[in-house]
Amino acid sequence: MTMIESKAKQGRLFFIDNIRWLMIVFVVMTHAAVTYSSIGMWYYIEPAKLDTFSLALFGIYQSFTQAYSMGLLFLIAGYFVPGSFDRKGFGRFLRGRAVRLGIPTLIYMLFINSAINYCILAFEWTKPRPSAGKYFMHYIQSWDFLSGSGPMWFALALLIFSATYAAFRLILHTSHSREKLQPGGKLPGHLAVAGLALLISVSAFAIRLVQPIGTDLMNMQLGFFSQYIILFITGIIAYQKDWLVRIPYSFAMVWFKAELIGGSILWLAIMVLGGGVSGDFSKYAGGLYWQSAAYALWESFFCVGVCLGLIVLFREHFNEQDKLAKSLFDNYFSVYLFHPPILILVTLALKEFSWHPIIKFAVSCAMAIPICFLASHLIIRRIPLLKRVL
């Protein structure tokens, strides 16, 4: 029995913990990038004229990170759903998910989102602002809070996915307990991986015909949801087959290296030939354009390749948890919930500095990320009510 197999049987995969907190760091960085690039949607965007090089740097970081980071988190989430359901049963499983995912989402929708928007009015309102009480009542009575999940759309979507899975298990009366699984079965080959990526890309292109990137339903961009749903289901299957532990390092690295090298070249070609280098991304967002089809294809293959690579890299090289790593993992969800107001305050504090947007992005990340984790560790998770759900 290998060290990794031993840890898997003990129920703790430290490499998965390390991937989780790292993806949340990337989420914070992505929102900082939106602030200074104007590519994407965020509460506070600092207008700036970007030269071609800066636009390309932001475009590369944001495109590449968006392509795989949330999909990887849904894959990991799906992996842990069957075991949790088996241990708890239908009722306890749903109650646990409602507490862990639903309550933090409601906290964000009702209080954090409204507070951020009200404070930002101070920079945009051309007449005296309404009182905080009036603004909050209008926010609730107009049902605006239903679209106010901010980054917590992920938790809301995961709650919906988990409830759907639980209903499916209840109807079929199936058991996925590890004692009844056969984790020594055949591993997926290259054709299966390519088929998975192709399925995601075709589905994404089809959805984006009616829900392009940049549009949303209750703050959920459905244009990305083919990736999220399919990878969530893939995570469930990966649990049944024990793929995350068993998938060969050499196999996964073929895809990882191919996407880092070939995927980067393909992305550049799509941007140059399709007009993305000029800052016009409209045809990539959706519709009957070759740019939309090519972008969906690149995004899906890049996502699958990078997910495979990161899983095996962390499994083989970052499968330990020292005190710092444990603290980062313990606080990652709290950081995800509370990073928007902290990041906005940091970027507003830097507003008067006439630095290049790339410099501001780097400085804001260097400040906001440690502040977020320290605030979570020293303050937020010590509040009794929040400690129970975070």
The domain segmentation of the chain, as residue ranges, is: 3-389
> CA 157, CA 74: separation in Å to the nearest integer?
9
Mean pLDDT of the chain: 91
Over the stretch 296-343, which tens digit does the pLDDT of each residue have? 999 999 999 999 999 999 999 999 999 999 999 999 999 999 999 999
Phi and psi at 217, nearest 5°, equal -125, 115
pLDDT value at residue 5 = 46
User: Which residues lie closer than 8 Å to 249 by C-beta, 6 or more apart?
Assistant: 312, 315, 316
- Note whether 218 and 149 are within 8 A (CB): yes
Over the stretch 229-245, which tens digit does the pLDDT of each residue have? 999 999 999 999 999 99
pLDDT value at residue 76 = 98
- Note whether 320 and 218 are within 8 A (CB): no
Over 50: is that where the pLDDT of 4 sits?
no
> CA 234, CA 303: separation in Å to the nearest integer?
13
Residue 108 to residues 19, 152, 157, 339: CA-CA distances in angstroms?
24, 7, 14, 11
What secondary structure letter does DSSP report for 109? I
Identify the band that residue 157 occupies on the pLDDT scale cut at 50, 70 and 90: very high
User: Which residues lie closer than 8 Å to 174 by C-beta, 6 or more apart?
Assistant: none
Identify the band that residue 288 occupies on the pLDDT scale cut at 50, 70 and 90: very high
pLDDT value at residue 175 = 60
User: Which residues lie closer than 8 Å to 77 by C-beta, 6 or more apart?
Assistant: 158, 161, 232, 235
Compute how many other C-beta atoms are within 10 angstroms of the C-beta atom of residue 259: 26
Q: Residue 4, exposed/middle/buried by CB under 10 A (0-12, 13-18, 19+)?
A: middle
pLDDT value at residue 10 = 46
pLDDT value at residue 8 = 45
Over 50: is that where the pLDDT of 6 sits?
no
Q: Where are the alpha helices (DSSP H) in the chain?
A: 3-9, 14-37, 52-97, 103-107, 113-124, 132-141, 153-172, 190-207, 225-241, 243-246, 249-258, 264-274, 282-285, 290-317, 323-349, 357-378, 384-389
122-136, 177-191, 192-206, 228-242 — which is least confidently predicted?
177-191
Over 80: is that where the pLDDT of 278 sits?
no
Structure tokens at 51: 């030269």
Over the stretch 161-189, which tens digit does the pLDDT of each residue have? 999 999 999 998 766 554 445 556 789 99
> CA 341, CA 114: separation in Å to the nearest integer?
11
Over the stretch 105-118, which tens digit does the pLDDT of each residue have? 999 999 999 999 99
pLDDT value at residue 14 = 96
pLDDT value at residue 79 = 97
pLDDT value at residue 277 = 76
Coil vs helix vs strand at 282: helix
Specify the pTM: 0.93
Identify the band that residue 101 occupies on the pLDDT scale cut at 50, 70 and 90: very high
Over 90: is that where the pLDDT of 74 sits?
yes
Over 60: is that where the pLDDT of 58 sits?
yes
